[in-house]
Chains A and B, each alone.
Chain A
Amino acid sequence: MWWRSPSFILDKQQSDTVPHQRNPRDTLPLPSPPPFSMADTLQNPNPENNISAYYQTRAAHHAVVTGDWLAQAQAAIGRDPDDSTDTTVATVAGKPFSVIDEFNSWRKQPELAEAVAAIRALAAVIRNCQATTMMELEIELKKSSDSLKSGDTTSISLTAGCDLFMRYVTRTSALEYEDFDSAKSRLIERAEKFGEISCKARRIIAMLSQDFIFDGCTILVHGFSRVVFEVLKTAAQSKKLFRVFCTEGRPDRSGLRLSNELAKLDVPVKLLIDSAVAYTMDEVDMVFVGADGVVESGGIINMMGTFQIALVAHSMNKPVYVAAESYKFARLYPLDQKDMVPALCPIDFGVPIPSKVEVETSARDYTPPQYLTLLFTDLGVLTPSVVSDELIQLYL
Chain B
Amino acid sequence: MDARRAPRTVSDPKVRKVGFFTAPPDRSLSGPPDHRIFSFLTSPPPVVDNSSPSAGNSLSPVMIPPPRHSSANLSPLRRDSAEYFPPSASPTSPASFSDDVAAAAMGRGAVAASSSLPGGLGFDIAALKSAASSVPASGLTTVSVVNNFPIGISEKGGGVAVEMQNDQSTRSKSLKEKTTKAERRALQEAQRAAKAAAKAEGVAASEKKGGDRPQEKDRKKEVPQPRMQYDDKSRVEKAKRRAVVKQTEARNRVELFRHLPQYERGTQLPELESKLFELDPMHPAVYKVGLQYLSGDICGGNARCIAMLQAFQEAIKDYSTPPEKTLARDLTAKIGSYVSFLIECRPLSISMGNAIRFLKNRIAKLPLSLSEMEAKTNLHSDIDRFINEKIILADKVIVKHAVTKISDGDVLLTYGSSSAVEMVLLHAHELGKQFRVVVVDSRPKLEGQLLLRRLVGKGINCTYTHINAISYIMHEVTRVFLGASSVLSNGTVYSRVGTACVAMVAHSFHVPVLVCCEAYKFHERVQLDSICSNELGDPDVISQVRGREDINFLDGSSNSAILQLLNLIYDATPSDYVSMIITDYGMVPPTSVPVIVREYRREHLWI
Contact = CB atoms under 8 A, between A and B. Distances in A.
A380 B136 CA distance: 10
Summarize A's interface: helix, strand, loop or mixed: helix
B142 A383 contact: yes
Interface in A320-337: 326, 331, 333, 335-336
B605 to A, nearest CB: 18
Interface string B539-550: 000000000000
A173 B512 CA distance: 41
A333 B578 CA distance: 13
A168 B10 CA distance: 6
A115 to B, nearest CB: 13
B606 interface: no
Contacts of B151: none
Nearest to A165: B10
Given A296-B587, A297-B589, A382-B18, A392 B596 contact: yes
Contacts of B512: 335-336
A168 to B, nearest CB: 5
Contact of B592 (A382, A389, A395): A389
Q: Which of B13, B19, B514 has the most CB of A within 10 A?
A: B13
Contact of B18 (A333, A339, A386): A386
B16 interface: yes
A393 B8 contact: yes
Interface in B477-516: 479, 512, 514
Nearest to A370: B576
24 contacts: A168-B9, A171-B9, A194-B10, A197-B11, A197-B13, A296-B587, A296-B588, A297-B579, A298-B589, A326-B10, A335-B479, A379-B13, A379-B16, A381-B137, A381-B140, A382-B142, A385-B142, A388-B588, A388-B595, A389-B18, A389-B19, A389-B592, A393-B595, A393-B599
B431 interface: no
Interface string A175-199: 0000000000000000001100100
Interface of A: 164, 167-168, 171, 173, 193-194, 197, 201, 204, 208, 211, 296-298, 326, 331, 333, 335-336, 339, 369, 378-383, 385-386, 388-390, 392-396
Given A173-B2, A380-B16, A396 B599 contact: yes
A326 B18 contact: no
A201 B10 CA distance: 12
Summarize B's interface: helix, strand, loop or mixed: loop
Nearest to B579: A335
A201 B585 contact: no
A197 B10 contact: yes
B141 to A, nearest CB: 8
B365 interface: no
A193 B11 contact: yes
A173 B6 contact: yes
Contacts of A211: 136-137
Interface string B251-280: 000000000000000000000000000000
Contacts of B595: 388-389, 392-393
B10 A394 contact: yes
A395 B5 CA distance: 11
Contact of B2 (A164, A171, A392): A171
A335 B479 CA distance: 9
A209 B199 CA distance: 48
Contacts of A298: 589, 591
B405 interface: yes
A386 B137 contact: no
Nearest to A201: B13
Nearest to A392: B595
Interface string B1-33: 011011011110110101100000000000000
Contacts of A392: 585-586, 588, 592, 595-596, 599
Interface in B561-587: 579-580, 585-587
Contacts of A331: 586
Nearest to B595: A389
Contacts of A379: 13-14, 16, 18
A103 to B, nearest CB: 21
Given A173-B3, A197-B10, A388 B579 contact: no
A378 B3 CA distance: 25
A26 to B, nearest CB: 28
Contacts of B405: 335, 339
Contacts of B3: 173
B265 to A, nearest CB: 42
Given A297-B580, A335-B512, A379-B18, A388 B591 contact: yes
A164 B3 CA distance: 19
A338 to B, nearest CB: 8
A171 B407 CA distance: 35
Contact of B13 (A204, A333, A339): A204
Given A369-B589, A380-B140, A382-B142, 9 more contacts: A171-B9, A193-B11, A211-B137, A298-B589, A333-B587, A379-B14, A383-B142, A392-B586, A392-B588
Contacts of A204: 13-14
B592 A388 contact: yes
B423 to A, nearest CB: 20
Contacts of A167: 10
4 shortest A-B CB distances, which residue pairs? Answer: A380-B140, A385-B591, A335-B512, A388-B592
A368 B588 CA distance: 14
A383 B18 CA distance: 10
Nearest to A376: B140
B539 to A, nearest CB: 39
Contacts of A388: 588-589, 591-592, 595
